[in-house]
Structure 1
Amino acid sequence: MRPDHDVVIVGAGFGGMGAAIELKRLGIDDIAILEREDDLGGTWHVNHYPGLAVDIASVTYSYSFEPNPYWSRLFAPGVELKQYAEHVADKYDLKRHMEFGTVVRTAEWDDSEQLWRVTTGSGVRTCRYFVTATGFLSQPHTPDFPGIDSFAGTIIHTTAWEDGHEFAGERAAIIGTGATAVQLIPEIAERADELTVFQRTPIWVVPKLDFAIPPGAQKIFARVPFTQRIARMVNTSLLEALMVFGVLHFRQAKPGNRLAALVAKAHLRAQVRDRATRRALTPSYDFGCKRPTFSNTYFRTFNKPNVSLQTSSIERVEPDGIVTADGEKVLVDTLVLATGFNLWDVNFPAFQIIGRDGRDLGKWWRDNRFQAYEGITVPAFPNLLSLNSPYSYSGLSYFTTIEGQMKHMRRLFGELKRRGATTFEVTTDANDRFLAEVTDNLQSSVFYNGNCASARSYYFNQHGEAALLRPNSTLSTLRQMERFPVDAYRYS
């Protein structure tokens, strides 16, 4: 049976576009990119709250093969990432492959026909190869506080921002103090009459060395691309040192981790005047247990007279406000939910995927262990490339992960073509060896050697495993992704 497409990719963010670029380089052009939103860009289309910006320097948070010399700042605002996504889609002729407003409900491998059947809201598509690029943070978490449905004011989740909502004259409250909230809280504090920040877990925040990139420097980047490659290399090296020595090799390099925590504490002390507030904003877990972030304005916001920090847990929501466990009631006109995303319950995978012999990927992961060979393929799921998988996230920039997976695809499809085959499937032995390797490497990390009990980190799944990050340096990961043994797969 001839399928409708050679490849179906789910997701038109940077992961899906990277996969499509690599496939087109390999000569595969019959590609359908299915996107549930109404435009491309993934998280940079969905998110458009005030203060949105990258928290990794833009010279690193971009494709290495498609540098953008015209970033306005070292940490570019979100609108520029959206523009960059548009540029990439235009340059690599991706838009003609994209279909928006298309929600994928299930995907099932047909062993007799050796193809995937992908069910969407409008019918069934078939494809030879199936790629999931739904992102790590694509399924928003909405807390089910008692009484939240009775709230009479406005509720805004950061992933469904109401453009034009100004907060002027309002009593606002925000639940959450993760990376999104760190960017958003200073913006709301400038506009609202009152702002209450409900914090469950404090976050490590370090100074943000951010500045406008002068037009002259942009011209140099454009005319002499080597200069921007140097800037990328320097920034990547700094991130690598933070990741490898501060997080992955915590047991061997505890002083480095302690130094990072001291920098964050000094930053907090320099910016927040009140001692009790400083104490409440200081994490009780080790640096790196939860993803840290950068900001020069977040801590200072708590000095404002219209901003208060609430650390008591939420008991219930009433029509006009929030009641905490200690009996205090906070009156609220607009409630902002910066409550993050649900990774391990609904995002791995983001919809039902059925492989060979009826194996349900989500159920298999949850009943056993979360695992994927090289963070991209899974036994019993032929011709499936799962870009957002356990142990796939490499380094601190998502683009490191994407480009590593592109290298893996290049080698895998090259071998497929050399053998004249159409189907690949990773062997159980290769998958088991990889799982044992990453499990062993993680034993030195802060996740298993540090104090992470109070972090409530999305790095950990329901089995208590830190199964998101690949515990290798960026260079070794990229090398392994393009040099893995070809006999790790069966071909037919």
Structure 2
Amino acid sequence: MGSSPEAVIIGAGFGGIGAAIALHRVGITDLAILEREDDLGGTWHVNRYPGLAVDIPSTTYSYSFEPNPNWTRLFAPGAELKRYADHVADKYSVRRFIRFGVAVQSAQWDEEQQRWRVTLDDGSTLTPRYLIAATGFLSQPHTPDIPGITEFAGTVVHTTAWDDDHDFTGKRVAIIGTGATAVQLIPELAKRAGRLTVFQRTPIWVVPKIDFPIPSPVRRLFGRVPAAQRAVRRVTDAIYEVIMIAGVLHFRQLNPLNRGVAQLGNAFRTVSVKDPKTRAALAPDYDFGCKRPTYSNEYYRSFNRPNVELQAGGIERITAEGIVTADGTAIDVDTLVLATGFDLWDANFPAIEIIGRDGRNLGKWWRDNRFQAYQGISMPMFPNLFNLAGPYSYSGLSYFTTIECEMIHLQRVLGEALRRDATVVEVTERANDAFLAAMTERLDDTVFNAGDCASSRSYYFNHAGEATLLRPTSTANAFRDAETFPLTDYDYA
């Protein structure tokens, strides 16, 4: 493979695809997209578990510049997201740049060559001028560190490595985790398992899911009149913006609205779960919005089934035969399902070792000096590096908002570099410090700082207890900043 493409993108999910489109728009077409999996789509390729679907309306969870009139439901199933990724990659001629089965080990800035040296797992290297890390938030699966987990003699299935051939029918199944993935999966397992034991560490806020099939005449209308679908998107965008602003960002000012949503969740749980003890155990004891909430019409009702049991007292250890709870109860298990999510802060920030100017290690620098990234994408001392989905980047509850803001950012910065005939761009310390100060101040009004999140165990918080994943501004503010930030916030050489 060629060693000196102009740009290397790590990851061929929706972020990597978007980054490639942005590079094309400014005339950079000498690029390579490195993807460790055998196909594109990121989380929508890796995840195939039963019940998989978006938890944001499909109209909002998609590129605004490439609407898809073919969604079959308001909340599309996962397979449709994978097909959408394939469609976009083909339409925008991205697939030809992707190298599958290529894992990146590290990247180091070469000051003399003014390029990045990207080392692959096979020992080979690439030396691009620009490096775009598009590994996403949810790329490193987490396996819980429970004593004895390697001793289990039955079948272990992680939701990110689903075994389509495994038959759960009549089996004694245990699932660890009650996050958004488990909320989708548990109702499906409950229909098949002889007995399903759900091990919960932290309850999740669940509200009703207003989902329905999109009739074929409506899909045909969307295909023929794209403005009609854009109008629907404006509605779904606005609803989720209100949820984000009222429930999370302006918790201090709009506390009654947050409490109202929480009361809806409590009422929904009350009417859905028959057993009072189970109902109480499923009740979160932290404020709505501290942990990403989710939507389901089936999750709570699953616990009314005679073959489903909730265990919320903790796990002491796993044995060859099953699971021993904290109170000493031994539960025999045939199949252990790990719905334990992803390792964000330990393994994903960054997902590979990145060394910038003067030997600055990005992971160590973040942990020693707070997680930070100018506009969620750039760090000082890391020239020509753009880290999509960095600290303070996630905006509006939809990953596509983040992607499109960063596409705009990339186009403006690299377009200016090309205009100046510059080969190196680097955000200034001044701009980075000012942005970090602004984000830190805005966090004071959010549910993360002003609410009660102590027991949430939310992935929004890093190990230092700072909620540095979400951008504490409106979506409109994120787009306005992407379109208008001073280009002089970067140095060009």
Which band: TM-score by shorter chain?
over 0.9
- Counterparts of 1:280-295 in structure 2, within 5 Å, are 280-295=281-296
Instruction: Note the C-alpha offset of 1:148.
Output: 1.0
Read off the aligned partner of 1:117 and give its amino acid letter: R
Q: Quick one: distance in 1 between partners of 2:309 and 2:345?
A: 32
Paired residue total: 491
Read off the aligned partner of 2:341 and give its amino acid letter: G
DSSP-derived class of the 1:286 partner: coil
Decide whether the 8 Å contact of 2:3 with 2:125 is kept in 1. Answer: no
Taking structure 1 as the reference length, the TM-score comes to: 0.99
Q: What's the C-alpha RMSD, in Å, of the aligned pairs?
A: 0.8
The corresponding residue for 1:111 is: 111
Q: Quick one: distance in 1 between partners of 2:430 and 2:3?
A: 30
Decide whether the 8 Å contact of 2:345 with 2:463 is kept in 1. Answer: yes
The corresponding residue for 1:238 is: 239
Decide whether the 8 Å contact of 1:146 with 1:317 is kept in 2. Answer: yes
- Counterparts of 1:370-389 in structure 2, within 5 Å, are 370-389=371-390
DSSP-derived class of the 1:65 partner: coil
Instruction: Note the C-alpha offset of 1:60.
Output: 0.5
Instruction: Note the C-alpha offset of 1:67.
Output: 0.3
DSSP-derived class of the 2:344 partner: coil
Q: Quick one: distance in 1 between partners of 2:46 and 2:54?
A: 14
DSSP-derived class of the 2:105 partner: strand
The corresponding residue for 2:343 is: 342
Decide whether the 8 Å contact of 2:146 with 2:317 is kept in 1. Answer: yes
Q: Quick one: distance in 2 between partners of 1:7 and 1:474?
A: 28
- Counterparts of 1:299-448 in structure 2, within 5 Å, are 299-448=300-449
Q: Quick one: distance in 1 between partners of 2:84 and 2:148?
A: 41
The corresponding residue for 2:141 is: 140
The corresponding residue for 1:51 is: 51
Read off the aligned partner of 1:33 and give its amino acid letter: I
Read off the aligned partner of 1:395 and give its amino acid letter: G
DSSP-derived class of the 1:344 partner: helix
The corresponding residue for 2:40 is: 40
Decide whether the 8 Å contact of 1:11 with 1:42 is kept in 2. Answer: yes
Read off the aligned partner of 2:271 and give its amino acid letter: A
The corresponding residue for 1:222 is: 223
Instruction: Note the C-alpha offset of 1:413.
Output: 1.4
Deviation per CA, 1:152-185, whole angstroms, max 9, x where unpaired? Answer: 0000110010012121121000000000000000
Decide whether the 8 Å contact of 1:312 with 1:326 is kept in 2. Answer: yes
The corresponding residue for 2:151 is: 150
Q: Quick one: distance in 2 between partners of 1:192 and 1:433?
A: 54
Instruction: Note the C-alpha offset of 1:147.
Output: 1.0
Decide whether the 8 Å contact of 1:460 with 1:468 is kept in 2. Answer: yes
Deviation per CA, 1:221-280, whole angstroms, max 9, x where unpaired? Answer: 011101100110100100000001110000000011001101111111121111111111
Q: Quick one: distance in 1 between partners of 2:170 and 2:67?
A: 43
DSSP-derived class of the 1:5 partner: coil
Q: Quick one: distance in 1 between partners of 2:189 and 2:3?
A: 50
The corresponding residue for 1:76 is: 76
The corresponding residue for 2:6 is: 6
Deviation per CA, 1:350-371, whole angstroms, max 9, x where unpaired? Answer: 0100000000000111111000
Read off the aligned partner of 1:92 and give its amino acid letter: Y
The corresponding residue for 2:21 is: 21
Q: Quick one: distance in 2 between partners of 1:244 and 1:279?
A: 28
DSSP-derived class of the 2:192 partner: coil
DSSP-derived class of the 2:7 partner: strand
Percent pairwise identity: 64
The corresponding residue for 2:458 is: 457
The corresponding residue for 2:186 is: 185
The corresponding residue for 2:31 is: 31
Decide whether the 8 Å contact of 2:14 with 2:42 is kept in 1. Answer: yes
Decide whether the 8 Å contact of 1:353 with 1:362 is kept in 2. Answer: yes
My pick for the range that moved more, 446-455 or 405-414, is 405-414
Decide whether the 8 Å contact of 1:3 with 1:128 is kept in 2. Answer: no
DSSP-derived class of the 2:444 partner: helix
1:468 maps onto 2:469 in alignment: yes
Read off the aligned partner of 1:37 and give its amino acid letter: E
Decide whether the 8 Å contact of 1:374 with 1:434 is kept in 2. Answer: yes
Q: Give the ranges of 4+ consecutive aligned residues of structure 1 lying more than 6 Å apart after TM superposition.
A: none
Read off the aligned partner of 1:467 and give its amino acid letter: T
Instruction: Note the C-alpha offset of 1:45.
Output: 0.2
- Counterparts of 1:94-105 in structure 2, within 5 Å, are 94-105=94-105
Q: Quick one: distance in 1 between partners of 2:274 and 2:12?
A: 45
**Structure 2 residue runs without a partner (length 5+):** none
Taking structure 2 as the reference length, the TM-score comes to: 0.99
Instruction: Note the C-alpha offset of 1:388.
Output: 2.0
Q: Quick one: distance in 2 between partners of 1:231 and 1:455?
A: 33
Decide whether the 8 Å contact of 2:108 with 2:354 is kept in 1. Answer: yes
Instruction: Note the C-alpha offset of 1:3.
Output: 6.3
Q: Quick one: distance in 2 between partners of 1:439 and 1:430?
A: 14
The corresponding residue for 2:67 is: 67
Decide whether the 8 Å contact of 2:316 with 2:326 is kept in 1. Answer: yes
The corresponding residue for 2:91 is: 91
Read off the aligned partner of 1:315 and give its amino acid letter: E
DSSP-derived class of the 1:127 partner: coil
